[in-house]
Amino acid sequence: MALKDKTPPMIVVAIDFGTTFSSWACSLRHDYEENPTKVHVRQWVGGDRISSKAPTTVLIRPDGKTLEAFGFEAEDRYAALVEEGAYKLWYYFQRFKMKIYNDSSLSRNTVIKDATGKPLPAMILFSRTIQFMKEDFLQQFKRTLEGRIQDYDIQWILTVPAIWNERAKQFMRQAAVTAGIRDEYLKIALEPEAASLFCNHCPMKKFVANGSEYASISTFERGSKYMILDAGGGTVDITIHEVIGNGKVKELHKASGGPWGGTKVDEAFQQFIIKLVGNTVFERFSKEHLEDLQEMLRSFEVKKREIHLDKQYQVVLRIPISLIQLCEGESGNSLEERIRQQCTTSNMKLVNDKLKVDSFVMKEFYTDTLNSITSHVLSIFENEQFADVKSIIMVGGFSECHLFQQAIQDCIPHTNIIIPLEPDLSVLKGAVIFGHNPEAILERACRYTYGVAGAKKFIDGQHRQTFRKSCKLGELVTNVFVKIVECGQKIKFNDRQPEQILAMSEDKTEHVFSIFVSEKPSPMYITDEGCSLLGNITISGLDTSVPLIQRKIAITLMVGGTEMEVEAREIHTGKTSKAVMDFLG
């Protein structure tokens, strides 16, 4: 018996595949029924630290296929290879998830370059990472579940940003299937939705300007509205939910956001160090002292969450001795001298391996990122229909940053800023809850206008002459955007959109329809500005026994879930089948 037969899974396993950090978590059905927030999260060991997440870092053997290590272990193993001078044939990837964000050319053949510039198919990289997570879970729970667990007992959940398009979602699903997770036992969870579900079940710490107190979304009255701001390492996802009750919510504002996560702050810090020591020195340091670089970045990761907006003080940043020595050996000047040359004020000083900087210097690393996020949040609140949104729930690892919290509070001062006790785990734990109850998101706002390329009777003076076509059916205008669902439209879970009747233009047993998207509500042609090809729908086994003019296909689009589904019905035979969608080319 399969999960698709509505049998509740014995166990749900969620994989949060993040830009900076990743992990998996799980819960048994009886634990979920007792307490939805009772979720087991994998613990990772890196040096002298234990963490609920590991760096999204992968080391692949020279064969380009075999994953050697993941996370902290991958960082340490590669650093050892660099020290031994044996690293050049190995593949080493860090923070690679964003490589498929908004990539209009994303396909099964997309390649990503590793730390040394060697290309590897992205599908291999992503599938091996998911496979590692899958096997790591099975190994951890082998003794507990041995002899009792079958494929159909596990519901796998894979998280993706809500602002990702269908092409990126299909890529992740294909990677998971390649990793050995059967398609029917896999669901995609949208990150801010997962976080919202988790927050609906647990007490949370409320951040206010004059101190802290406790609050819980679960105490919100039915009809209360709140913004979910999911700020991870790579992306910031923002949406607005309304409380329905019984742990269920509906989406009021389509997911939006951008690539404004915490890694942008890391990049600004790295550019700051490069400016101090010089590009040549930093490149040598990165290659010859990778372990020291990793330690410097880990130390900065802690510092960047502690910085405050309204305080002026000195921040101490650790600079590896190896970098200080390289700087002096390469340039002939000590790092201390270079700092004096570049900084005429007293806001920066090097003492041994400690770089002491005024806090305003550190705050500059955040400027572009925070400006992008606050501008976007303000644009949403300018909509009068969200005037009664009184709370912002901040989740994701970047939301632990005090500077970020204060910036949002100052941006929208009339709102309560609520932050879970473990904001970096909200998505992961919420994804497990979603796996047990995928119908908890009762309604979503469609992110795009979806349609298919079609044709209709040509009307002189109304339609574009360049799209005019003569065929057996008469004079037609082609390249018409046949709208199926409109951006912003509210769609309930499992809602079926009205059928769109499409005429057949060729006498074949297989027909391919192209599906298009637009951020505009009513495009006329598929070539209009803002329209883009999403992918193709292939319908096979069509009946050709009747004249072409009598043959039509009804297309039904289902976009109320986290992934699009399409159903096709051949009108003259009544035959209905799931159409095969391909967004990856």
* pLDDT tens, per residue, the chain with 585 residues: 344 446 788 999 999 999 999 999 999 999 999 999 999 999 999 777 789 999 999 999 999 999 999 999 999 999 999 888 899 999 999 999 999 987 888 999 999 999 999 999 999 999 999 999 999 999 988 777 665 778 889 999 999 999 998 999 999 999 999 999 999 999 999 999 999 999 888 766 554 433 445 555 655 778 889 999 999 999 999 999 999 888 789 999 999 999 999 999 999 999 999 999 999 999 999 888 888 998 899 889 888 887 876 667 788 999 999 999 999 888 778 888 888 887 766 678 888 888 988 888 888 999 999 999 999 999 999 999 898 998 999 999 999 898 999 999 999 998 889 888 889 999 999 999 999 999 899 899 998 999 888 888 888 888 888 888 887 777 888 889 988 889 999 988 877 888 878 777 677 888 888 889 998 999 999 999 999 999 888 888 888 888 877 788 888 888 888 888 888 888 888 888 667 788 887
CATH of the domain at 558: 2.60.34.10
Whole-number Å distance between alpha carbons of 247 and 225: 14
The one-character DSSP state at 217 is G
**Domain match, 47 and 136 both:** yes
- Angle, helices 426-436 vs 191-199, to 10°: value is 80
**Domain match, 105 and 214 both:** no
**Domain match, 303 and 403 both:** no
**Domain match, 205 and 345 both:** no
Query: 453: how many CB neighbours lie within 10 A of its CB?
Result: 20
**Domain match, 290 and 215 both:** no
The one-character DSSP state at 391 is E
**Domain match, 251 and 389 both:** yes
Residue 434 to residues 36, 111, 169, 264, Cα–Cα distance (Å): 10, 32, 17, 29
Whole-number Å distance between alpha carbons of 584 and 569: 24
Q: What is the DSSP string of 168-194?
A: HHHHHHHHHHHTT--GGGEEEEEHHHH
**Domain match, 435 and 452 both:** no
Q: What is the DSSP string of 280-317?
A: HHHHHHHHH-HHHHHHHHHHHHHHHHH--SS---EEEE
**Domain match, 159 and 30 both:** yes
Residue 384 to residues 185, 381, 519, Cα–Cα distance (Å): 41, 7, 21
- Condensed to tens digits (0 to 9), the pLDDT of residues 481-502 reads 988 889 999 988 877 888 878 7
**Domain match, 153 and 22 both:** yes
Total domains in the chain come to 4
**Domain match, 31 and 174 both:** yes
**Domain match, 250 and 305 both:** no
| 554 strand-pairing partners | 501, 569
What does DSSP say about strands 416-419 and 391-395: parallel, antiparallel, or unpaired?
parallel
Structural domain span for residue 307: 263-366
**Domain match, 294 and 410 both:** no
Place of tokens 């802290």: 212
Report the amino acid identity of residue 582: D
Tokens of 417: 């800023």
Radius of gyration of the chain (CA): 26
Tokens of 102: 């908004």
Q: Which of 426, 458, 475 is the last residue of a domain?
A: 426
Q: Which of 350, 366, 382 is the last residue of a domain?
A: 366
List the one residue out of 438, 436, 397, 441 whose CA is nearest residue 419: 397
Question: Which pTM was predicted?
Answer: 0.88
List the one residue out of 63, 97, 30, 170 whose CA is nearest residue 583: 170
CATH of the domain at 220: 3.30.420.40
Q: Which of 366, 382, 403 is the last residue of a domain?
A: 366
Name, in order, each residue with C-beta under 8 angstroms of 283's C-beta and a sequence gap of 6 or more: none
